[in-house]
Structure 1
């Protein structure tokens, strides 16, 4: 039987906030999303489950970030 790794083509906004060390937990992410100014591709965003794909632009309190694919360094 072959083990297959499923590649997830996206990351959620909550996961992104954890990776970037804005928060330590999902609960913190939920609170932060409602207190910070967060934009995804120019639109205000308040859902921590928002799917982010490679190339998406995320701005958190004026600090810009771009979502990169796994194979980009």
Structure 2
């Protein structure tokens, strides 16, 4: 599990994927979200601009990011 310390109120989903190095670029992050390959709190998510907040769990390719 990857623990990501949030600095501020939220982080956009695609920015979180980039910040944790699960993707190489914003374009790649947008594509994987649009393809439905990302789950947020157990639900498949297709909104690229979703605001991820403290307590959320994001899953992609078997890796889980816990936002703290």
CA distance in 2, matches of 1:62, 1:37: 10
Q: What is the TM-score of this pair, normalised by structure 1?
A: 0.70
Unaligned runs of 5+ in 1: 1-6, 69-73
Greater share of residues in strand: 2
Structure showing greater radius of gyration is 1
Unaligned runs of 5+ in 2: 1-6
Q: Root-mean-square deviation (CA), in Å?
A: 1.8
Q: What is the TM-score of this pair, normalised by structure 2?
A: 0.74
Aligned residue runs from structure 1 range 18-37, under 5 A: 18-35=18-35, 37=37
Aligned residue runs from structure 1 range 1-73, under 5 A: 8-35=8-35, 37-68=37-68
Is the contact between residue 13 and residue 52 of structure 1 (CA under 8 Å) also seen in structure 2?
yes
Matched residues, number: 62
Which string of whole-angstrom CA distances, capped at 9 and with x for unpartnered residues, describes residues 14-65 of structure 1? 1101101122332221112234621111111012211100010111122111
Q: Which of the pair has the greater relative contact order for Cα pairs under 8 Å at 6+ separation?
A: 2
